[in-house]
Amino acid sequence: MKRTLLLAGALCAFLGTSAQTVDIKGESISLAEYCAKGQQLDINLVISNPGTETITTADFNYTVDGNTYTKNITGLNITPGTMVELTHPDKWTASTAGSFYNVKAWLSNLNGKADANTANDNASRDIYVSNFLPQRLVLVEEFTNSSCGPCAAQNPAFNSLLKDNISKVGVIKYQVWWPGANDPMYKYDPNDVSPRVGYYGVSGVPYTRLDGVAPTGASYYDGAPGNVNAALLDKKYNVPAGFDIGFNSTLAGNTVEMSIDITSRIATKGSVMIYVAAIEDEINYSSPPGNNGEREFYQVMRKMFPSATGTFMGLVKEGQTKNLKFSYTPDGVVKTDKLRFLVWVQNASNKMVYQSYWSPAGQLTWSGINEQPKTNIIQSVYPNPVSDIAFVNFKLDKPATITADVYDLTGRLVKNINTDGIFREGERSITFDVSQLPKGIYYVSLKADGQAYMEKFIVQ
């Protein structure tokens, strides 16, 4: 009896003073899907504390390419039930290109003790190291409606912000069917709007995505245009792109013939989709088409090619190229002097946008496409990307008077290039300085006896 009572008492004492446990769970590694050779990366580990003891010190470990990096971290305050993100003091340098690397990170030696549950310690992430990553153009998608009161409230400041950052963004606006079902821009092409609404699960407007991600903020709901500011656009713009996009168009009668080259600068572990859209850069109504008072609408989607479901590219390897060809005949509703074409590459699973491109507004008249020859005299712009002195190499079949200019993506003249005037036949070159131009995508335009030729280049 005494022994039984002692056991019972001991059992009661144990239950009343249960020992504390130290346990840290690795949730995820906050790391980009890819990076460039030579880039130094922060290893950010998201962890949670499912234990009962507050963690104040720990060893932070990560391993990649067979090497393990460990640093003791003090001054922590990871209380039970909380989730935090820690950055390892040692950056990882991606020294070798052309393959995937697995990064694994975990905490150990918690408050000087062993982790009570080592099965949940590790978080891991694959990252691809590329030989070269091009400049990004940020894709901005907005869902809006001409009878939406909150749209009218947020759109003016949003449109002004996008206009001020027009060299950093590609923009597309989808006019939806609610709250006003008679929005004329929605009714013009409803078949291409609905799939994009479903793709993102849009249930209210205005709603926006930047490179496939809904912007967040303290003052608005997730996805609100009001959450977007210049600092956020700059942050997105400074993330290198994973693809190059080449776009050429010619006008055959009233039909625009497009040729698009998508070149991967990375390898992916998820399938890739390509989307192409015709956009009317500005639409003005003499009176509001809906009941929210808006009369001016910008970057309105008019048609997607071949449809809003896009073109499947699948898993890609670095250097892989896909060519797409589409035809578009604008009707009398769409003004060709306001016409743009927007192309973007997007991950099919997580919706992350790898790159976007849009042609200058009114390119059909601005670029001289009406009389664009089949052979471009420009052979190359070198180096590309460039940060100071560039060379545009071209070939003439006969002597010609040459003038040269540089335009940004909006079609705005940003630089006149001085030339020697008349050039003899053969291979020739002109140098120009881009060191005073902001980083971004540009076109150099050569006119030979009045005929215009263009080539894209990047300032970095």
Q: Which of the listed ranges 171-180, 238-247, 259-268, 374-383 does the model predict with the highest average pLDDT?
A: 171-180
| pLDDT single digits (tens) 209-226 | 999 999 999 999 999 999
**For 190-193, which contacts have Cβ atoms below 8 Å and span 24 or more sequence positions?**
191/307, 191/308, 192/277, 192/301, 192/303, 192/304, 192/307, 192/308, 193/301, 193/308
Instruction: Identify the H or E element spanning 364.
Output: helix 363-366
What average pLDDT is seen over the chain? 90
Q: Is there a contact between 55 and 49 (Cβ–Cβ < 8 Å)?
A: yes
Domains annotated on the chain, with CATH: 19-130 (2.60.40.10), 138-365 (2.60.40.10), 375-459 (2.60.40.1220)
Tokens linked to 86: 């820690």
CA distance 155 to 27: 37
- Report the candidate in 384, 365, 361, 357 with the shortest Cα–Cα distance to residue 455: 384
CA distance 45 to 63: 12
Mean pLDDT of 148-170: 96
Q: Is there a contact between 47 and 83 (Cβ–Cβ < 8 Å)?
A: yes
CA distance 460 to 390: 12
Of 221-230, 242-251, 298-307, minimum mean pLDDT range: 242-251
Q: How confident is the model at residue 448 (pLDDT cuts 50, 70, 90)?
A: confident
pTM, to two decimals: 0.77
Name the burial class of residue 213, with classes exposed (0-12), middle (13-18) and buried (19+) by CB atoms within 10 angstroms of its CB.
Answer: middle
Residue 280 to residues 144, 181, 234, 361, Cα–Cα distance (Å)? 15, 21, 25, 8
Which strands, in side-by-side order, build the sheet including 123-130?
Answer: 34-36, 123-130, 99-108, 58-64, 67-73
Of 101-115, 173-187, 245-259, 263-277, minimum mean pLDDT range: 245-259
Instruction: List the beta bridge partners of residue 46.
Output: 28, 85
CA 103 and chain centroid, separation: 23
CA distance 120 to 117: 6
Write the secondary structure of 84-116 as one string of H (helix), E (strand) and C (coil).
EEEECCCCEECCCCCEEEEEEEEEECECCECCC
| pLDDT single digits (tens) 127-154 | 999 998 988 999 999 999 999 999 999 9
CA 225 and chain centroid, separation: 17
| pLDDT single digits (tens) 361-394 | 765 533 333 334 446 788 889 898 899 999 999 9
